[in-house]
Structure 1
């Protein structure tokens, strides 16, 4: 939501103008009202659901694509379940919250960006695995999307020198920091210790989200 609001309200543009001595509310026009726009979510799991609930508070219509859910399950999570094609073509903002798996590598490629007929804002706070970065750069260059807010890249430790996504007014790139707070770090330590205790006690089934099973 932080990326969504920062980019939709063009906070960076307004901040830059004020620092240059400006004081005009319309210097970054057009800025559209968020209420009534459509947010399309790919992946309505725990994080996608949290985004859906927060988006509703801003008056956004929320649609989602998730093959693991029924229409009623998605509704209970705050979204209308539609096809991936409908999310691409009907959304003013598209946000990715899918786990990385063999079915979604480079899902957001040239064809997907071409299908985004409403020229949406594109957000990815999940995994870079799902985004064809060359196609994303091309979509930005051709104006197929209004901007991109990215907390991840394909490479978890990218070489940023000369990176084609840097230096753009309509791109915000952050270092996989969406999860971060002092509270979340404390929780990670606590959960890791509990998981270790469960496994040593022969009760691995009680561990929380074991990624690499032994």
Structure 2
């Protein structure tokens, strides 16, 4: 007999069943439903999710604001992949008695994607591949990373790994964030500088901060102008870290050489979005964490969270 209804959200590739035995949950009285398309609005999310007791959310693809949570009276357990999700109002969840749990994640998926985007931009891979597939040959001249300066905004676990990649490629590495200490920079083998110095001195700037009220819009017109006409911006963290309107203008007017982006203000990106037509860009649809290894951690961990909660001993609780 069904006791609980569980929703797995935003399974874009329809692969959640490949990474965890969700089909075994009926034995625990759980009926599982999978949503593969994103909700276009909070109202649509509420209308679809009202009957569910348990929700498994993939990263920040669906927002759970206070208003949304207050509109889901049956919700008892909310699982997010990863151990942080800025799209969930944890305080509101706690007030409503909703347990929020997280999962482990891959330490290398996002850094590898960052480096893939940077290399693709540096060597014009998208343009050259499109040329080759349509009967053309070499069309542009790329640049090498060796001898260039990389500026890392946010020297956490991902930023530190990126610093290692950069040094392996023969780059000089700078770093800045609001809380970065000289000791942490020295331990990572990078030079701590001011924000202004980082954007002025770097050939490439890559962002690795969590999105918060303090970091939203941390890169704006001033920083992009400092980066200059030979500079490249890479963002695989969160779209709103960058003032999107300023970035579009920078690309159109040539303030910077270009941008390599995996994240955007609105996801999925709306059709006809200006960034999709901006010059000097390499774009990918937020796939920095979309790997077999990462999904095993995410969906496997989410399944463990559900089983533990059903057993009365929730694990990896984020609002406990």
Report if aligned partners of 1:98, 1:126 keep a CA contact under 8 Å in 2. Answer: yes
Partner Cα separation in structure 1 for residue 297 and residue 197 of structure 2: 37
Partner Cα separation in structure 2 for residue 168 and residue 141 of structure 1: 6
Q: What do the CA deviations read for 1:65-92 (whole angstroms, capped 9, x no partner)?
A: 0232321211212321111111110110
CA shift in 2, pair 1:195/1:83, >3 Å: farther
CA shift in 2, pair 1:118/1:91, >3 Å: farther
Q: What do the CA deviations read for 1:168-207 (whole angstroms, capped 9, x no partner)?
A: 45212212111111111001123334556389437x6xx3
Aligned length: 204
Counterpart of 1:144 (choices 255, 277, 288) is 255
- Alignment pair present for 1:28 and 2:135: no
Larger Rg over CA atoms: 2
Give the equivalent residue in structure 2 for 1:155. 266
- Alignment pair present for 1:43 and 2:154: yes
Give the equivalent residue in structure 2 for 1:182. 292
1:163-174 to structure 2, matched below 5 A, reads 163-174=273-284
Cα offset, 1:158, TM superposition: 3.1
For structure 2, the 5+ residue unaligned runs are 1-114
Cα offset, 1:41, TM superposition: 0.6
Report if aligned partners of 1:90, 1:117 keep a CA contact under 8 Å in 2. Answer: no
RMSD: 2.1
Give the equivalent residue in structure 2 for 1:108. 219
- Alignment pair present for 1:126 and 2:237: yes
Runs (4+) of structure 1 exceeding 6 A deviation are none
CA shift in 2, pair 1:143/1:118, >3 Å: closer
Give the equivalent residue in structure 2 for 1:95. 206
For structure 1, the 5+ residue unaligned runs are none
Report if aligned partners of 1:91, 1:118 keep a CA contact under 8 Å in 2. Answer: no
Give the equivalent residue in structure 2 for 1:67. 178
Report if aligned partners of 2:126, 2:282 keep a CA contact under 8 Å in 1. Answer: no
What is the TM-score of this pair, normalised by structure 1?
Answer: 0.86
Cα offset, 1:46, TM superposition: 0.9
Partner Cα separation in structure 2 for residue 200 and residue 64 of structure 1: 44
Structure showing greater relative contact order (alpha-carbon pairs closer than 8 Å, 6 or more residues apart): 2
Partner Cα separation in structure 2 for residue 175 and residue 147 of structure 1: 17
Cα offset, 1:164, TM superposition: 0.7
